[in-house]
Amino acid sequence: MAEARTKPAPKGLEGVVATTTAISLVQDNRLIYRGYAIDDLVAKAEYEEVAYLLLNGDLPDRDQLRDFKQELVKHRALSPFLRDLLAEMSENATAMDVLRTVVSASAAEDPAEGDNSQAAEYRKSIRLTAKLPTMLATYMRRRRGEQPVPPEPSLGHAANFAHMTWGEKAHPRAAEIMNAAFILQAEHGLNASTFAARITAGTDADMHAAVTAAFGALKGPKHGGATDTTMRMIEEIGSPDHAETFVDKGIERKYIFSGFGHRVYLTEDPRAKHLRRFASELAKGGPEQAKQFEIQERLVRAIAERRPKMSPGAAAKVNVVNVDFYAATAYTFLGIPADLGTSIFSLGRIAGWCAHVMEQHGDNRLIRPESEYTGPVGRTWVPIAER
């Protein structure tokens, strides 16, 4: 075996500090955006304020917020080129494939393509943040066989998404809950998709390339996708009375309990309680919702009761209820199909991705770690006739 130049990093780079950032702090039971606790932001802020905070470093004053909102409104509409591409793809493609592709294609009409200056990237960030909800709402309606609803300039970011998605049929609390969800998912340190964006930006690739890379990473079920598998798990359990037996059998067969576990949060995911509250309140809307929420609650209790008896490895995989667990039911109760949970996630995270790309380009160095070679050495070429 070749001698490694340095001690190899832990598998998955767990615990490795790869960069510095002023954007967010992620610690056990603690999430901070630019110095502000997530609990304060989700309780008091509009998503536009949080997006401004992530992109600029400070909360906006009244005039700055007005101007920022006006810029978002101005850039919500899609060009004929993007509308046609989205319509063509919506026939068969998944939401994540559509968003990734249409975001990438939007570089073709970027007036500052190739300009990685802070001012140009800030404008790109606004355009991407503004257009992404239009892309997803259009996809959702086309998938249902409905015509797209154009953006409504008088509505805020989350309310406009609800309007474009459901029109007059929107749940009365859709805008409120979407606003909170976008804030909770807006930023989360050096997660896989953000790291992918920063690695891409580190090559001096532009904002669109970096965000496209982030979409590619987010599509993976180990990063996104737990809302879909959580709802399938709830449906498989079927009844609150089956939760304990389901957990016992799951432990025996090493089942992966969707919506549980986190690499950083060891005792509590600070985002989960907010979505649990929404799921709990929306569950009062009917018997099926009440049953699904009760299955979740019984499942959480059953896993907590059995966790002390699990092996350390198994216990670590269900150490906390994560943000996706109650997002699954909250979204479902609003009328969002579970397989679209990851794409909803991206509508909030776009501001965080863009902030990280700007930060990377602001003091850039190519991200190029080493690897430890574990293959053979000293082999001798053998002509093909002798192999």
What positions carry a catalytic annotation?
262, 324
Sign of the CA dihedral 160, 162, 165, 168? Answer: negative
The crossing angle, in degrees rounded to 10, of helices 157-166 and 174-184 is: 120
The three-state secondary structure class of 382 is: coil
The token pair that represents 112 in the structure block? 């500052």
As to burial, measured by CB atoms within 10 angstroms (0-12 exposed, 13-18 middle, 19+ buried), residue 96 is buried
How far apart (Å, rounded) are the C-alpha atoms in residues 104 and 212?
Answer: 6
Contact between 187 and 203 under an 8 Å Cβ cutoff? The reply is no
The three-state secondary structure class of 201 is: helix
The token pair that represents 286 in the structure block? 């009917």
How far apart (Å, rounded) are the C-alpha atoms in residues 11 and 215?
Answer: 23
How far apart (Å, rounded) are the C-alpha atoms in residues 295 and 274?
Answer: 18
For 250, the enclosing helix (H) or strand (E) is helix 243-252
User: Backbone phi, then psi, for 363, in 5-degree steps?
Assistant: -150, 70
How far apart (Å, rounded) are the C-alpha atoms in residues 87 and 360?
Answer: 34
How far apart (Å, rounded) are the C-alpha atoms in residues 214 and 217?
Answer: 5
How far apart (Å, rounded) are the C-alpha atoms in residues 139 and 94?
Answer: 9
